[in-house]
C-alpha cells in the first residue's frame, strides 16, 4: 500500500513594510493576533534603538534643565548658606546660572562642565568647605540685567551707620569700571562681594574705605581720594548736640573743613602682613614677589576674584573710629603717639583732660562747650610754629590763635582768646599766692597728728588742681579751670590754726 504524498501548500509571500514604518522603526504584528488594530504595530529592533535614544536624550535634557535651577545647587550641603543668602537677596528671582555662566552657548557648556567637576568632587568627598566662584562683568551687564548701569551716572546709595543713622553716598559706576582706579582695573565683584555672612553680592564699605584711604594722609591735611564731599555731603537737617542744635550749613558754607570736628573718623592703614601670603601660596619664590603690587593686584583683582580683606587689614571709617577713651578714670588721657610714646609718656594728657572737663579734684566733670560740640584739637591748633626746614628735623607744632576762632565763628568772638588767657593767668597767680600763705601758716602752727594729715591732703589736692590748670593751659576749658582754681583756693583757706593754736603762736584765729 502506497502512502499518498501531500502536495506542498502555497506560502503567502512576505510583504515589505512601507518606508516610513522602517524609518520610524515600526513593524506590523502577525495577523493571528486578535487585538485592536492599534496594537497590531510594535517597535522593531531599530525602533527600540530609536526609543532608547529619545528617552536618553529627553531624560538628559530634563536633568540638564533641572540642574540649571537654584534648587539643584542646594543639593550639596556646603551650598546651603549661599542658597539661603541668595533666596533673601534682591537677586532671588534671578537663576544662579545667569550670573555664574557667561552669556553664550559655548560659555554655558563650559560652565556645566566645570559644575560637573564640582559635583564629582562632592560625590567623591574631595571638595573644599568654602566654594570659590568668579563672576565676570559680562554676566552682570548682560541684556536684561545691568547693561545700562554705566550710563546711569551718579546714583544715591543710602547706608546705615553703626550708630543707627543713615548716610547717603554718591556713587558713579562709570569711572570705577571704565577707568583704572589707583592703577588698578576694577570689576563688578571688586566691590560687590560675598564676604558678609548671610548676604549675597553686597557692597562692603570696607572695600571702599581701603581704596579711598590706603596710603593717604587724613586728619589735619585731608588728602583722601575724592575728599569728604566726593562721597557724601554734610547733613542737611539740624542735629542735636550737648550744646544745642547744630546746623552744618553754618560752617560748611564758610569753607570750614570737615576734619576740624571729624579728625578721628578714620582708623587703620590697610596694611598687608607678609604671613597672609602663606595662606594661599606655599612657595617662597611666590611670597618673595609681595612688593610687586601692580602685578599682584592684576592677578588677584583684575584677573581673579580675591577679596581685598583676604590680604589687607580693614580701615574703619565713622564719626568716632579713631577716638580712644582713657584707660581709667584716674589717669591721664590714653593717646597712641606710636614710637614717640617710648620716650614721651602721657603726651598732651593734661590739656586733653581739661578739654574733656575731667581729671581734676573736688569738682564734678565739666566738659568744654567745644568738646560737647565734638570739635577736635586741630580745629583750633592751626598755626605752624616751625618752618618746613626746621620741622624736618625737630617736628612741627601747631598753635591755637585768634585766627582759629575767626576761621569758624567770624568776628563774633574777636579778642576772646587773649581775654581767656589773661583771666586764667590772674586766677592761677591768686591761687598760687593763697597756697604759699597756707604753707607758711601750716609751718608756723605745726599741728601734728590727724590735723597735720588733714591739712596736708588739702594742700596736695590744691596743688594738683593748680598744676593741672597751669600746665594743661586753662584756656582749653575756662569754666572748668575756674572751678578747679576756686576749689584750690578754698582748700588753702581751710589751713588755719585753731583758737588754742592761734594763742600759742600769737596769731589770730
What is the pLDDT, as a whole number, of residue 326?
47
d(CA 299, CA 292): 11
347-383+415-499 adopts what CATH topology? Butyryl-CoA Dehydrogenase, subunit A; domain 3 (1.20.140)
Residue 296 contacts by C-beta under 8 Å, 6 or more apart in sequence? 289, 290
What is the pLDDT, as a whole number, of residue 503?
55
| C-alpha distances out from residue 139 to 191, 301, 366, 402, Å | 15, 17, 59, 59
Give the phi and the psi of residue 44 in degrees, each rounded to 5. Answer: -85, 180
- How crowded is the C-beta side of 407, counted as CA atoms within 13 Å? 17
- 359, 332 Cβ separation under 8 angstroms: yes
What is the pLDDT, as a whole number, of residue 268?
87
What is the pLDDT, as a whole number, of residue 222?
73
Q: Which of 191, 201, 205 is nearest to 100 (CA)?
A: 201
- 17, 27 Cβ separation under 8 angstroms: yes
Helix residue spans in 88-204 (DSSP H): 96-100, 105-123, 137-140, 173-178, 188-191
**Grid cell digits, residue 467:** 598744676
What is the pLDDT, as a whole number, of residue 478?
95
- 155, 149 Cβ separation under 8 angstroms: no
- 234, 265 Cβ separation under 8 angstroms: no
What is the pLDDT, as a whole number, of residue 509?
44
Q: Long-range contact list for 81-87, CB < 8 A, 24+ apart? A: 81/197, 81/198, 82/131, 82/194, 82/200, 84/198, 85/194, 85/198, 85/199, 85/200, 86/200
- 496, 509 Cβ separation under 8 angstroms: yes
Q: What is the full DSSP assignment across 423-489?
A: HHHHHHHHHHHHHHHHHHHHHHH---HHHHHHHHHHHHHHHHHHHHHHHTTGGGSHHHHHHHHHHHH
d(CA 145, CA 188): 13
| C-alpha distances out from residue 388 to 223, 313, 399, 400, 408, Å | 19, 33, 15, 18, 26
d(CA 474, CA 95): 67
Give the phi and the psi of residue 9 in degrees, each rounded to 5. Answer: -75, 145
Q: Which of 46, 65, 47, 68 is nearest to 57 (CA)?
A: 65
The ranges assigned to domains in the chain are 19-61, 68-133, 149-317, 347-383+415-499
Map residue 166 onto helix, strand or coil: strand
What is the pLDDT, as a whole number, of residue 84?
83
Map residue 245 onto helix, strand or coil: strand
- How crowded is the C-beta side of 35, counted as CA atoms within 13 Å? 9
The pLDDT tens digits along the chain (509 residues) read: 555 555 555 555 556 666 666 666 676 666 554 554 555 667 777 777 877 778 877 776 676 666 677 777 777 777 788 888 888 888 888 888 888 888 888 887 787 777 777 777 777 777 776 777 788 888 888 888 888 888 778 888 888 876 777 888 888 888 888 888 888 888 888 888 766 656 777 787 888 888 888 888 777 777 788 888 888 888 888 888 877 888 888 888 888 888 888 888 888 888 898 888 888 888 888 888 888 888 888 888 888 888 888 889 888 888 877 776 544 444 444 444 445 655 666 677 889 999 999 999 999 999 999 898 888 888 899 899 889 899 889 888 889 999 989 988 888 889 999 999 999 999 999 999 999 999 998 888 887 778 888 999 999 999 999 999 999 999 999 999 999 999 999 999 998 876 555 555 544 44
d(CA 96, CA 115): 12
- 201, 192 Cβ separation under 8 angstroms: yes
What is the pLDDT, as a whole number, of residue 330?
40
**Grid cell digits, residue 276:** 597672609
Query: Grid coordinates 605745726 are at which residue?
Result: 446
d(CA 383, CA 381): 6
- 241, 372 Cβ separation under 8 angstroms: yes
Amino acid at each position: 500500500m502506497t502512502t499518498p504524498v501531500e502536495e506542498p501548500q502555497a506560502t503567502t509571500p512576505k510583504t515589505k513594510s512601507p518606508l516610513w514604518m522602517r524609518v520610524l522603526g515600526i513593524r506590523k504584528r502577525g495577523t493571528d493576533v486578535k487585538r485592536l488594530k492599534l496594537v497590531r504595530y510594535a517597535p522593531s529592533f531599530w525602533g527600540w534603538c530609536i526609543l532608547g535614544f529619545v528617552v536618553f536624550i529627553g531624560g538628559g535634557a530634563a536633568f540638564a534643565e533641572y540642574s540649571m535651577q537654584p534648587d539643584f545647587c542646594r543639593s550639596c550641603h556646603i551650598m546651603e548658606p549661599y542658597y539661603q543668602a541668595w533666596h533673601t537677596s534682591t537677586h532671588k528671582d534671578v537663576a544662579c546660572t545667569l550670573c555664574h555662566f557667561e552669556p553664550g552657548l559655548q560659555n554655558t557648556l563650559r560652565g556645566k562642565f566645570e559644575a560637573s567637576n564640582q559635583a564629582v568632587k562632592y560625590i567623591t568627598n574631595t571638595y573644599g568647605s568654602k566654594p570659590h566662584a568668579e563672576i565676570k562683568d559680562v554676566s552682570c551687564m548682560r541684556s536684561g540685567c545691568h547693561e545700562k548701569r554705566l550710563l546711569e551716572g551718579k546714583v544715591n546709595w543710602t547706608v546705615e551707620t553703626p550708630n543707627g543713622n543713615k548716610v547717603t553716598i554718591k556713587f558713579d559706576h562709570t569711572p570705577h569700571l571704565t577707568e583704572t582706579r589707583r592703577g588698578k582695573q576694577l570689576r563688578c565683584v571688586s566691590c560687590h562681594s560675598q564676604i558678609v555672612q548671610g548676604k549675597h553680592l553686597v557692597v562692603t564699605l570696607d572695600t571702599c574705605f581701603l581704596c579711598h584711604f590706603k596710603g593717604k594722609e587724613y586728619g589735619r591735611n585731608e588728602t583722601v581720594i575724592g575728599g569728604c564731599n566726593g562721597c557724601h555731603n554734610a547733613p542737611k537737617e539740624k542735629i542735636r548736640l550737648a550744646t544745642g542744635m547744630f546746623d552744618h550749613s553754618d560752617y560748611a558754607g564758610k569753607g570750614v573743613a570737615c576734619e576740624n570736628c571729624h579728625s578721628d573718623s578714620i582708623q587703620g592703614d590697610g596694611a598687608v602682613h607678609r604671613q597672609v601670603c602663606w595662606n594661599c601660596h606655599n612657595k617662597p619664590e611666590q611670597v618673595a614677589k609681595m612688593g610687586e603690587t601692580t602685578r599682584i593686584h592684576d592677578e588677584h583683582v583684575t584677573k581673579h576674584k580675591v577679596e581685598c580683606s583676604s590680604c589687607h587689614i580693614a580701615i574703619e571709617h565713622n564719626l568716632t573710629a579713631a577716638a580712644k577713651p582713657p584707660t581709667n578714670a584716674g589717669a591721664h588721657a590714653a593717646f597712641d603717639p606710636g614710637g614717640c610714646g617710648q620716650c614721651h609718656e602721657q603726651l598732651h594728657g593734661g590739656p586733653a583732660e581739661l578739654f574733656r572737663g575731667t581729671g581734676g579734684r573736688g569738682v564734678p566733670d565739666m566738659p568744654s562747650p567745644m568738646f560737647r560740640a565734638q570739635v577736635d584739637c586741630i580745629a583750633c591748633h592751626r598755626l605752624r610754629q616751625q618752618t618746613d626746614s626746621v620741622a624736618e628735623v625737630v617736628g612741627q607744632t601747631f598753635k591755637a590763635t585768634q585766627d582759629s576762632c575767626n576761621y569758624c565763628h567770624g568776628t563774633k568772638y574777636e579778642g576772646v582768646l587773649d581775654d581767656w588767657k589773661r583771666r586764667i593767668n590772674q586766677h592761677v597767680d591768686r591761687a598760687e599766692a593763697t597756697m604759699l600763705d597756707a604753707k607758711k601758716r601750716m609751718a608756723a602752727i605745726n599741728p601734728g597728728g590727724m590735723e597735720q594729715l588733714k591739712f596736708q591732703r588739702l594742700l596736695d589736692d590744691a596743688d594738683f588742681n593748680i598744676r593741672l590748670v597751669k600746665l594743661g593751659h586753662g584756656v582749653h576749658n575756662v569754666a572748668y579751670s575756674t572751678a578747679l582754681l576756686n576749689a584750690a583756693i578754698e582748700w588753702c583757706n581751710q589751713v588755719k590754726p585753731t583758737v588754742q593754736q592761734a594763742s600759742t603762736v600769737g596769731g589770730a584765729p
